[in-house]
Chain A
Amino acid sequence: NAGVMQNPRHLVRRRGQEARLRCSPMKGHSHVYWYRQLPEEGLKFMVYLQKENIIDESGMPKERFSAEFPKEGPSILRIQQVVRGDSAAYFCASSPSLTGRREGYTFGSGTRLTVV
C-alpha cells in the first residue's frame, strides 16, 4: 500500500501563474481532504471531497481556488493567479469513509508551494 501520494513535492510559481497540486489517496479510500499549513502554524482545513463530489469547501478561499476529485485519477487542488500569500505547504489526507476521524486520517507528504 503506497499510502497517500502527493506531487509535486515542491512547486515554484511566479505571481499570476497557475498551480496544480495532485493527490492520489490510499487504495480503497474514497474520501479526500485538503489542508493548508502556513509557516509556524498548524494545518487549516480547506475542502472535503468524495468521488465526483465536493462535500464541503467552507475552508477554501472563494476566489482563485478550486478542487476536484474525478471518477478516475487523482484529486486536484488548483490555484489560479497565485499570489505570494499562497505560499504554504498543502497536505492531502484520505480515509475509507467518515471513520477517518476516529482512526486518524492518513496524510501525504505535502506539496510546498513557493510563489516568487
Chain B
Amino acid sequence: DTEVTQTPKHLVMGMTNKKSLKCEQHMGHRAMYWYKQKAKKPPELMFVYSYEKLSINESVPSRFSPECPNSSLLNLHLHALQPEDSALYLCASSLQPRPYEQYFGPGTRLTVT
C-alpha cells in the first residue's frame, strides 16, 4: 500500500482563523514533506521532516507552522494567513529522506478569504 492521506480535502478560512492540515501515512516512511502548489505552477517544497525532526524549512513565513507528532503523522498549523496563501497543499512521504521515491497525498485545497 502506497497511500498518503490528507484531511480536509477543502478548507475555506478567514484571515484571522487558526486551522490545521493533517497528513498520515502507514508505510513506515521516515521522511515527510509539505509542498505548496499555486494554480498552473509546479509544487514547491515548504518543509521536510526526517526521522520526526525538521530538516528543511524553505524560508516559509511563520504563519505556517509544521509539526510531526510521530513517524506516521504530519500537521501544518495555519494562522493569520493572507489571500495569496490560497493554494493546493500537498503532503508526501518517502522511506528515507534521499534518494527514495516520494509518494504524494491527494492534497488540501485551501482558500483564504
Q: Are these two chains actual partners, yes or no?
A: no
Q: Interface on A for B, CB 8 Å cutoff? A: none
Which B residues have a C-beta under 8 Å from some C-beta of A?
A: none
